[in-house]
Structure 1
């Protein structure tokens, strides 16, 4: 009897350990593509190029059509998704450049490390945290004294020329075989550095991320991983085999070649996650872009505007969410056309998803919308989404005298200048292309929304 009892206890121990491993906290991978248009995934309508690996995730997950980032340009957009707060709170309203240019535009040289980083919260809760890819929140050009990426809550990092720490720097090769460098002098911004063909840097980030995940899995630690490729930002340098032919098609051709090669490189990561039962059943993947496309390269479908614009083409991003055991079965393979939310909602949502406490005394501008993200609800944000344009982009891409502020609230979108003048009001559901200004028709609504966005902007700090 004692022997049977001992065997039973041993079996219970095995089952207990197995259950403990299965019930580990969920893993999260956040993929933040650079300068990609809303309509550039083939599952979002691109017929000029194919993105089969991302399309496959979309067919098993959820595609969101009304997801917004919080700036039409890189650095502030990255601050928003990292912190769950408006980037204006940290005086980062345009891309971070050299010291003189930053000062001229009234923006900080780097993100304040005291910001409520999602990575730090997860790290303190026992997560292995890694950042692999573009950073651009401090440590670029002549700003060589910015905090290292690992000071923001990451155990490991590998970046490009726009961040402090180990990095991959881009080489180029044209159709004649001539090799060049894109960012001379970036070696000063952290070691070790490795020069890699620009077309293979995404693979370098993915290889580093996979090694990091393998280590975390071996140590039975949940992981949070950023994979933020340089792709599909200009200059466009597809592989040597593709460059010559793509070049004949001009800027758009080069862009599409880079887009397809990026998707192909991501295939390795997706296959790795899906081929491991433990990882497949316990990992959530989110994929979107940091802002709209560069003019003449990516496309935003029927949405107006480009990168740097507060029109829909600059701030709306295609979002794909995949999670084999997390997404509601009824939502798998669907398109959510109703829910309106933004990048600042990601951090509080993932804190809830992982059962992680928010930092003490922290205040998020984002809302917890994890039920929407997982397909268990079609709820939208309760509060409006506010915007201010990059201060150096009043006239850009052929658009003159661009509006300074914008707000999305329910089915309505309003744009105006800092003083509330030149109102543009659109019903975004009926008019996603922002073609019919209704400010003179719905004057009371226009005035109310104007007051809200002007008041919000006045509350934001000013760099002294």
Structure 2
């Protein structure tokens, strides 16, 4: 019988036992969490002393915090387009939030993202991934735009959204401290069925429950998954669970915001506990968490950064970013804070395609760069090219264009 060389045995033990990558041939899972209108300094692991976010902080203790991560617009819809497509949203004529048809026409922007645009979900779906979107969409299907493509047309097997997307949705009810129930958007049903009305303060849980069910099915069939969880939180209007917060609806805007922030973190605890409790999921899942843009004035905060939502100053475009994946990170980088590396939301797509070993079509449109080694703590390099910004057409003229060089 042929003997195995001693050095090969040592090499095999070292590689399988010490390498900071997943330890089997299964493709890795991805959860991309995009919080709405959260400031750079709103998470307690990024310095917030007015409210604690313990469940997200637990991710930070085992992951990496990035201080100089930039989204590609200071406002919702274009920022989301950039993350999904890996391209500048200007390519698709989406430079501000999508609204009513007439308002979109006056501002010279599209009513929805073209289904032909490149999509991270579509690329991963074609590579064998189960793909799900749970949460806010706002890239088409809002107000009176009822002919936008279904979310499934962008490469998702399953979706559950809010009033700003096409397909199954959760619509928000409100309940104040007296128990009075109302609706935030009276005509939210016009975009079609199926829909479910539920309390605004619990909708994040609704999205998380649907995501967990989707993840469970994929895991049971041994199919890798890519899941978006994009809550409405912490966007205004602020309707925290008043019975828990002890606040009145006339409370200070900042107080209401912080109550929603804490409630959101509490609701995400269910998802994080689910992933942590299953060894296979824990060791083979990457979680990426950031915000779509800066905070609303008077609500969230961006620390000492100037500006807020809608501004091209740092406070409008810099986002706190967390990357968690114990099975893919070396022990020495867990719980660290990267203050040196500059990169952008358009870099997420090419990085995750590299992470999953998904082949990129040669002629595919892309503006992003592969920053995977930085995201996993194997490097502190930054993207090479500048990041370009154009001010949404709803803004003031003096901030029409800014080029951010890194």
TM band (smaller chain): over 0.9
Contact 1:120 1:152 in 2 (8 A): yes
Distance 2:113 2:370 in 1: 23
The correspondence of residues 95-244 of structure 1 with structure 2, limited to 5 A, is 95-242=97-244, 244=246
Distance 1:255 1:52 in 2: 17
Displacement of 1:111 in angstroms is: 0.2
Distance 1:337 1:200 in 2: 35
Distance 2:30 2:275 in 1: 11
Corresponding residue to 1:75 among 70, 74, 77: 77
Paired position in structure 2 for 1:281: 283
RMSD: 1.3
Paired position in structure 2 for 1:38: 40
SS in 1 for 2:182: strand
SS in 2 for 1:170: strand
Which structure would you say has the larger RCO, counting Cα contacts within 8 Å and 6 or more residues apart?
Answer: 2
Corresponding residue to 2:365 among 342, 363, 366: 363
> 4+ runs of 1 displaced by more than 3 Å?
246-249
Paired position in structure 2 for 1:251: 253
Displacement of 1:246 in angstroms is: 5.6
Distance 1:180 1:232 in 2: 19
The correspondence of residues 268-307 of structure 1 with structure 2, limited to 5 A, is 268-307=270-309
Contact 2:176 2:249 in 1 (8 A): no
**Alignment coverage as a number of residue pairs:** 385
TM-score by structure 1 length? Answer: 0.82
Distance 1:148 1:60 in 2: 36
Displacement of 1:243 in angstroms is: 5.3
Paired position in structure 2 for 1:26: 28
Contact 2:55 2:266 in 1 (8 A): yes
1:407 aligns with 2:385: no
Distance 1:174 1:294, change over 3 A: same
Deviations 1:385-431 (A, max 9, x none): 0001110111xxxxxx5411122222xxxxxxxxxxxxxxxxxxxxx
The correspondence of residues 48-67 of structure 1 with structure 2, limited to 5 A, is 48-67=50-69
1:262 aligns with 2:302: no
Displacement of 1:248 in angstroms is: 5.7
Displacement of 1:23 in angstroms is: 2.2
Paired position in structure 2 for 1:337: 339
Query: Unpaired runs of 5+ in structure 1?
Result: 1-19, 395-400, 411-464
SS in 2 for 1:245: coil
SS in 1 for 2:159: strand
Distance 2:399 2:259 in 1: 33
SS in 1 for 2:384: coil
Contact 2:177 2:248 in 1 (8 A): no
Corresponding residue to 1:323 among 325, 342, 345: 325
Query: Unpaired runs of 5+ in structure 2?
Result: 1-21
Contact 2:167 2:192 in 1 (8 A): yes
SS in 2 for 1:130: strand
Contact 1:132 1:227 in 2 (8 A): yes
Paired position in structure 1 for 2:392: 390
Distance 1:81 1:389 in 2: 18
Contact 1:309 1:402 in 2 (8 A): no
Paired position in structure 2 for 1:380: 382
Structure number with greater Rg is 1
Distance 1:145 1:284, change over 3 A: same
Contact 1:110 1:137 in 2 (8 A): yes
Contact 1:246 1:257 in 2 (8 A): no
TM-score by structure 2 length? Answer: 0.93
Paired position in structure 2 for 1:423: none
The correspondence of residues 447-462 of structure 1 with structure 2, limited to 5 A, is none
Distance 1:114 1:121, change over 3 A: same
Task: Identify which range, 352-361 or 366-375, moves more after superposition.
Answer: 352-361
Deviations 1:208-233 (A, max 9, x none): 00000000001110000000000000
SS in 2 for 1:266: helix
